[in-house]
Structure 1
């Protein structure tokens, strides 16, 4: 069985290369193609797109977005958002096109093979802001019993929240799966890059549920100063994200919320959810029932192990959700750089079994419905969840099929220690056929 080899830690001789490479990644643009086809879709015995609703059977994806990025001021031209911070949260629609003049049949065909016969370049066809909340914090005024939030602005805030709920109800009415998939990006991400990831993930999730991008003020540019600006923007956005989740969870027809966070977005997501859990527990409310959070997926987490152990382990973060899945890779250059910058003992995004103490292993073994997945892939870099067909396959089996780790559940990961698993090349196909990436995965006739 050929398993991804563990790489050595990055040391000083490679530091210069890492910094230069990271700078190039942040600074370069270029055209973006649809992510590689996940192994689970190649040679599948049934069509994984068979149950896509008729109105979604085209080469476009309508992504619902929420953002506290500042709009870019311009006299004419389409709406754009930059890296500036807005004190108000906005929401709307962004239509992403997959390929120019590509039919649904051609898109499906090329979404089931590794070598594609046509270009599937991602482009934005339009951005429409549908609503904007008043700025926060809401101003205080003197009331009969002291300072209170301005009732007039509170009323405006409530009206915008109702508009958001109605838009989500319209979108949920189009799909049999009453669930929302929220993607939260990391540092050095522009609006367009984040929406492309949201669109392609939803496409490969079978176009069920509602795709949502929560995009915060990142992408200032520059390696060190850009990184520090983006980190603080991640702290800035937490209040707005909490408000968005609260409103989303209050939509009656919505059954589940799934959060997929990448890189520094993992801290944004985890911090917001942590504060919501504390808030609910303080009010004597069950946070799972209140906020409907099912899966939290933390990918390439830019989080310190010791900090997480205290902030999330001690406060029973896992009890506020149905499942927490953490994807890690020792060959992640961005996490290596973050470890060096913050002189961390270890960061979650590179956690290895040997980094976990005996006491921590006991705690990990007792966690119900939580798992670490090692996807060390040297060639896939920091974005392995979309670039590596094995890693994206596991993400699909988790989010689309709601499968637990283990061959008996249809996710044939290799268990290293309790609740710590590893991918192999060609996953989820038989390991002996890894080089050909063959599999005979049989998709169910229904998605429910």
Structure 2
């Protein structure tokens, strides 16, 4: 089904659409993002980058027009090229940026936006899908952040899991460079990292590299959100140790019914993935308690979103609104409250209405100790 859905999408959807009064096209709400990628460039019009590995890090300024009258968490893929901006996601600008001019992109952003959100996508994600997904998330959360997408070489095929995992490994130093560039910018006061699925391993490795090089994760990187992390739990424990005591607040979204992570666990020798831990299992709870500054949200009971229960952070409307109201407003998911009951109570007030009434189940929150 996933393969058929991908095949149904036309190629070249990133061809810029000119929006003006004479063309008759209606402009949607624009999302202006900086895209950094280690993918190989494509000669095909409207594709921009392939799923193969490039020779270096490339930067592009892309603006996506989001159509009105759409459901939160959804992407309206173009049915043909060029896209119809009145009812479909449409690209309105594509400007390659030399690496030495990246700082100017930060300088050109509105002065009120002094926070950066760096998004790292997961496995089985084409370049166009990563652009549209991030644009959808920024729009639906009303995030007052400078959006920076880091997209690594994923072929966008379920059968290329190992290739994608090695491509994430291939891109570690480049993501480290992007994070460092954001931190060094005088226009930036805060950096938040949001990583999904296999991208969580890449994000943690890059943060680890920063910590080992600089002695700590830069203080401007305040929050890290790992959504359905496809990350070996043993590796995660070692990464947390090597980030050091002065690390960012960490929020993890897990789900026991995440079907994609079930397959990943099978491919990884039956080692549990962090995004699929069972918080009712005392062994896992005890292991997580050893790491300070972590809040884990169990989204198992949350209804809606994607069919595989793997992308609820971006597709489940109530979860998207929660992120928009809390984290994207400059707060950590736990709202910097005390651990334990206070944190659970705070989160219960924020997400209690998410669960459908017949279930009568709260989202389970596990709050580890803090520094």
RMSD: 3.5
Matches within 5 A, 1:165-204: 165-171=103-109, 174-204=110-140
Shift of 1:205: 3.0
Shift of 1:420: 8.2
User: Among residues 342, 348, 351, which one is paired with 2:277 in the alignment?
Assistant: 351
Q: Which of the pair has more CA radius of gyration?
A: 1
Q: Say whether residues 1:427 and 2:357 are aligned partners.
A: no
RCO comparison, higher one (Cα < 8 Å, 6+) = 1
Partner of residue 242, structure 1: 176
Counting matched residue pairs gives 328
Q: Say whether residues 1:84 and 2:8 are aligned partners.
A: no
CA contact (8 A) 2:207 2:217 kept: no
After superposition, what is the alpha-carbon deviation per residue over 1:256-302, rounded to whole angstroms, capped at 9, x for unaligned? 11111101000111100111111111xxxx5333xx21111101100
Summarize the Cα distance change of 1:335–1:113 in structure 2 as closer, same or farther, 3 Å threshold: closer
After superposition, what is the alpha-carbon deviation per residue over 1:181-201, rounded to whole angstroms, capped at 9, x for unaligned? 111101111111111121122
Cα distance in structure 1, aligned partners of 2:321 and 2:174: 31
Shift of 1:430: 8.1
CA contact (8 A) 2:303 2:356 kept: no
Q: Say whether residues 1:327 and 2:265 are aligned partners.
A: no
Cα distance in structure 2, aligned partners of 1:431 and 1:182: 29
Cα distance in structure 2, aligned partners of 1:417 and 1:362: 15
Cα distance in structure 2, aligned partners of 1:203 and 1:120: 15
Q: Say whether residues 1:274 and 2:198 are aligned partners.
A: no
- Consecutive unaligned residues in structure 2, runs of 5 or more: 11-26, 75-84, 360-371
Cα distance in structure 2, aligned partners of 1:420 and 1:264: 28
TM-score of the two chains, using structure 1 as the length reference: 0.65
TM-score of the two chains, using structure 2 as the length reference: 0.77
Moved more, 329-338 or 342-351: 342-351
CA contact (8 A) 2:73 2:317 kept: no
Partner of residue 392, structure 1: 320
Cα distance in structure 1, aligned partners of 2:273 and 2:240: 15
Shift of 1:211: 1.0
Shift of 1:320: 2.3
Partner of residue 121, structure 1: 88
Summarize the Cα distance change of 1:113–1:86 in structure 2 as closer, same or farther, 3 Å threshold: closer
- Consecutive unaligned residues in structure 1, runs of 5 or more: 1-20, 32-56, 100-106, 132-159, 436-448
